[in-house]
Amino acid sequence: MGVVPKGRILIVDDLKGIRQILASLLAKAGYDSLEAEDGQSALQLAQDHAFDAVLLDIRMPGLDGFAVLERLTASDPDLPVIMVTAYDDVDTAVKAMHLGAYHYLNKPFHGDEVVALVQRAIEHRRLSCEVRTLHERLDGEAELTRLLGTSEPVARLAEQIGRIAPTDVPVLLTGEEGSGTELVARAIHALSARAPFIALDCGAVPTDQLEREIFGFQPPADAAADRPTHGHLEFAEGGTLFLDDIPALPLAAQDHLLTFLQDRHLQAIGSAERRPIDVRVIVATSLDLREFVAGHLFRRTLYAHLAECAFFIPPLRERADDIVYLVKRTLDQVNRELGKSVHGPTPEALDLLMAHPWPGNLRELHHTIRRAVLLAADHIEPEHLGLAPAPSSGASVPATREGTHPLTLPERTRRAIREIESEAILDALRRTGGNKSAAARILGIDYKTLHVKLKKYNLRGTQEHT
């Protein structure tokens, strides 16, 4: 087995003899090197290969060392470039350092000097990369707490995603509607140094089209009317694909996704061609995937693969410490958007905000504050929020809206439908001993629809069989 080189160095000089001397010195010290005789060749090599440091002559025909330095550091700010010059010129050295050079080397040079300078440059690059990665991680975690809140549960979540973000493992995000799963997905993406971020709401795409939307489609050669289509995976190459509402994925598409996650090869629908593709997949759902697995609507193997790295975004009602912070942040944002200067809520309005259960989480809070800013002239008052006070313990369902006005016809209709559907669902669950799959068949709806209605109406079956 060959010796692993200490690093790869790019040597750029128009004099072949100088390149050979430098290459020989570096080889004896355990470094690999590639050579370029002019600036254009150097830039091409830097595009095709990864280097740990560059030895760059200043005086060259065509692109001089300063022009090459600017382009190299623009594409890789951490790449240490050592400028080599035959002129003992302080002004030249200062200019090189100002443009981003790591150091400079005067001809004639000593072998030990070259090796020591290269060694320090590579160590400097390593430390710079570590510091930058740490700063990016801290910045990303700070951004997540800025968006979701400053409570202990959010801080713990930010710390956890900071650890897994640089990896390529698929991630499962769960949380109630409006809890911020896409915000978390974007934070993971931002911390991974990937690009681009592509999002697809699986629930918004017709079921029979969803697999094509993700993987693309290659029609048969004789199908003149059909045209090939690119899928979201292909659009996300090199970056992250975020699939929201993952339970909407049909079983065939689930199998296809599992195959991709296992071998990282893309195969469009209708195509025999498979090619490797680099995409990180993050999926999200507001429902319990385990119930879909039990109802044979979600592949157990795919769930197990996704659940290896799963995060739950806690609902807003469980982190009251965040409400005051989020109200202020949202108020500042909405004021800027609408060109208004509405002040914060009065004590009575704040009490109402703190007592509200926030079933719609961040999304509901944003809409509530936006409505209040539109209606308020100075401070936000309780009547600007549109939030009904919490009902007293043991109180029956009020016959009026917000205790003052009679119910409208649409409101009466919605309430009647809710009561009828609730009773029908509970009756089906009683008849099936709590078996939700069997209850769904009796009701003539699919398992997912039943699950959504159970959650919407806050119903519980007589048993927890599925």
- The tens digit of pLDDT for each residue in 99-121 reads 888 888 887 888 888 999 999 88
Helices (H), 149-264: 152-164, 181-191, 207-215, 232-235, 251-263
* Same-domain status, 191 and 300: yes
* Same-domain status, 68 and 177: no
User: Does residue 140 lie within any of the structural domains?
Assistant: no
Backbone CA torsion sign across 86, 88, 93, 95: negative
Residue in the block written with tokens 């009902």: 391
Residue in the block written with tokens 């680099």: 278
User: Does residue 136 lie within any of the structural domains?
Assistant: no
User: How far, in Å, CA of 71 to CA of 43, rounded?
Assistant: 8
* Same-domain status, 69 and 107: yes
Which of 277, 312, 347 marks a domain boundary? 312
451 vs 57: which has the higher pLDDT: 57
Residues sharing a CB contact under 8 Å with residue 234, sequence separation 6 or more, in sequence order: 216, 266, 277
Number of domains within the chain: 4
Mean pLDDT of the chain: 84
- Res. 23: pLDDT tops 80: yes
Mean pLDDT for 251-258 is: 96
The amino acid present at 439, given as its one-letter code, is A
Q: Quick one: pLDDT at residue 397?
A: 42
Q: Quick one: pLDDT at residue 435?
A: 78
User: How far, in Å, CA of 407 to CA of 165, rounded?
Assistant: 50
* Same-domain status, 166 and 189: yes
Containing structural domain, residue 87: 8-129
pLDDT tens sequence across 426-443: 888 888 877 787 788 788
* Same-domain status, 34 and 164: no
User: How far, in Å, CA of 170 to CA of 164, rounded?
Assistant: 10
The CATH number linked to 54 is 3.40.50.2300
What one-character-per-residue DSSP string does 375-441 give? Answer: H-SSEEPHHHHTPPPPPPTTPPPPSEETTTEEPPHHHHHHHHHHHHHHHHHHHHHHHTTT-HHHHHH
Q: Quick one: pLDDT at residue 391?
A: 47
Partners of 280 in beta bridges:
240
* Same-domain status, 245 and 102: no
User: Does residue 256 lie within any of the structural domains?
Assistant: yes
* Same-domain status, 92 and 208: no
pLDDT tens sequence across 161-174: 888 988 999 999 99
Mean pLDDT for 132-160 is: 71
* Same-domain status, 234 and 361: no
Burial class (CB in 10 A: 0-12, 13-18, 19+), 4: exposed
* Same-domain status, 419 and 344: no
* Same-domain status, 17 and 102: yes
User: Does residue 402 lie within any of the structural domains?
Assistant: no
User: Does residue 137 lie within any of the structural domains?
Assistant: no
Which CA distances in Å does 205 have to 186, 202, 240, 364, 447? 21, 6, 19, 24, 18
pLDDT tens sequence across 387-418: 876 444 433 344 444 444 455 665 666 677 77
The CATH number linked to 203 is 3.40.50.300
pLDDT tens sequence across 319-376: 888 999 899 989 998 998 899 999 999 999 999 999 999 989 999 999 999 999 999 9
Q: Quick one: pLDDT at residue 464?
A: 42
Please, which pLDDT band fits residue 466 given cuts at 50, 70 and 90? very low
Which CA distances in Å does 201 have to 66, 341, 426? 48, 35, 31
Q: Quick one: pLDDT at residue 414?
A: 65
Contact in structure between 368 and 387 (CB atoms under 8 Å): yes
Nearest to 140, CA basis, from 125, 160, 118:
160
Which of 392, 420, 438 marks a domain boundary? 392
The DSSP code for 4 is P
- Res. 139: pLDDT tops 80: no
73's tokens = 């550091």
Contact in structure between 242 and 282 (CB atoms under 8 Å): yes
The CATH number linked to 443 is 1.10.10.60
The CATH number linked to 361 is 1.10.8.60
Other Cβ atoms closer than 10 A to 284: 25
CA 9 to centroid of chain Cα atoms: 35
User: Does residue 135 lie within any of the structural domains?
Assistant: no
CA 120 to centroid of chain Cα atoms: 36
User: Does residue 1 lie within any of the structural domains?
Assistant: no
Please, which pLDDT band fits residue 38 given cuts at 50, 70 and 90? very high
* Same-domain status, 38 and 160: no
Backbone phi, then psi, for 64, in 5-degree steps?
Answer: -85, 175
429's tokens = 């669950």
Nearest to 65, CA basis, from 24, 109, 25, 100:
100
DSSP H or E stretch at residue 149: none
Which of 357, 392, 427 marks a domain boundary? 392
* Same-domain status, 254 and 371: no
205's tokens = 């795409």
User: Does residue 39 lie within any of the structural domains?
Assistant: yes
Q: Quick one: pLDDT at residue 194?
A: 85
